[in-house]
Structure 1
Amino acid sequence: MMLSWEERRQLVKIANWYYTDGWTQQQIAKKMGVSRPVISKLLQKAKDTGIVEVFIKDESVHTVELEKRLETQYGLQDAVVVPSVGLTPDMVRRSVGQMAAHYIARWLGQDVKQLGISWGKTLAEVVKEYPFERREQINIVPLVGGMGTKSVEIHANQLAYELAKKMNGSCSYLYAPAIVETVELRERLVEMQDIAQVLEEGKNVEVALIGIGNPHKGSTMKEIGYVQEADIQSLKKAGAIGDIGSRFFDQEGTPIEHELNSRIIGLHLQDLIKIPYVIGVAEGTHKAESVEAALKGNYLHTLIIDEQTALAILNETS
């Protein structure tokens, strides 16, 4: 079905009012000066032509039950469990990314002005799946510095830039490494005006979108050579079980005492806990103990996770 530019523009406008802004069909009809059935037909046309794609969350009894258990056990405001049985790891990551993208797009109010984002493969998938929107008022803030020159596409700065493009908003840039060689160098860098300003913005975001890592299993930081095996062993001795934005915590979610934590340029965990709304996105059973510790530390308000990892967390704690 070929549409003219004007027809396409009209359908996009109506679909935005209905799906993004939450207008009723009657409100749109009044605005357009037509009857409500006309709007209903145009919304159907937007689906038929691919302008609108509807993603249906699998509301199977099993995943809903897991969501309820996670919410109750950890005091979460919301949990989203994505079906993953029989899927390859890549398919699971894509499914979680897709669900998280559409959950956030639906949930995020137009009044949010500052959104923080950390880094990693799972969040990169969320940004990749995020729908194009109009949120000119929003600014995306990276919550941690960069990870060297490898895998730049999963760094916080790059994800902030890509998400800002999707939202038609703006972004800040944190021009600093995530981990520096010495505590003294970190102290000097965080006093530089450009870096200090973005770190302050990160503390004051209204919503934070974060990933959760496991330094011992499937660690992306180790994979890209940003931490060495000696660092991993040292972190293990200190009780590190997981990290958020390269800040390490133990099995109770408490920040660990380790010199690596004092060489990080990024949001502190004690500042993360003060952010009004934090959405955690994770996939892969190797992260189960890390996610469980993050939940115990009360860092998250919403958790979006795959079914197998949710089962692993709940089986470990039941």
Structure 2
Amino acid sequence: MSSNILSDPDLTVSLRVQGPDNPTESGCLYVIATPIGHLEDLSARATRLLDEVDWIAAEDTRHSQTLLQALGLKTPLISLHEHNEAARTQTLLPRLQAGEVGALISDAGTPLINDPGYTLVRSLRQANVPVVPVPGPSAVIAALSAAGLPTDRFAYEGFLPAKAGKRQQALKALLRETRTLVFYESPHRLLASLQAMAECFPERELVVAKELTKRFEAFVSGLSPEVHQWFCDHPETVRGEFVLMLSGADSKRSEAEDGCDLEALIDAMLAQGLPVKQIAEILTLATEHKKKALYQWVQTRKDRA
């Protein structure tokens, strides 16, 4: 392959130069981040653009109408969600090409981050229609900024699979990942995901951010089994929106060798009737895990049996 991509006849490179609020063509799409809770987090630029554009494509027009009413704006809303995005793209593209200026927002936070918009943005890029980001609130970044976990390198994993088997498989695939891991989770699956993390990562630090920027914002942190147990003991807190942040693997150790693979050994000893405390003591001698974390892990396995 040629070292100079511009000399490769089989490679098409599309170059555009545009500035914020000053696109090269009259038509463009602004991708605008909206508050994840606190209305005052919306920037002055975002507010101005939401007022100036011809229309706003929104994930849920009813939800977004509440935002516009709070801002005193009457910009027309167009629904764009996962079920109609492809069709909406086909109708919005020619309108933008004809010179209209639109905005894309999600229900909360930055569009496209676990929200609709990818199909539209990619199609516009391919058609050389300017797409201008208007940065602002993001639950992922907000949670990381206050979690106290390493942020020089992190991996956003979105939502874990809903089914237990696939969820466990997804977590096992991340055993060697040294970056801080970030997940979204819904209240009805929170306890199941926390339990899976406690079993796969018993010695990892876990921070759960709840209801960011809202009245009941909270951060719960500790070893993953401790965090799981806290939410089990406080079921009234399992509501709202959650960001789960898990510390990365120690690069000097191979957790894949003694992490989830210990589950079979624990289950075997439980089946033989050994007490939880004794199992934890045995595994403390045989592995590098801490006794407290092992005890909680074994207890969790016993409770599930």
Q: TM-score, normalised by structure 1?
A: 0.29
Greater helix fraction, Structure 1 or Structure 2 = 1
Q: Greater relative contact order (Cα 8 A, min sep 6): structure 1 or 2?
A: 1
Relative to the length of structure 2, the TM-score reads 0.29
Q: Say which structure is richer in strand.
A: 2
Which of structures 1 and 2 has the bigger CA Rg? Answer: 2
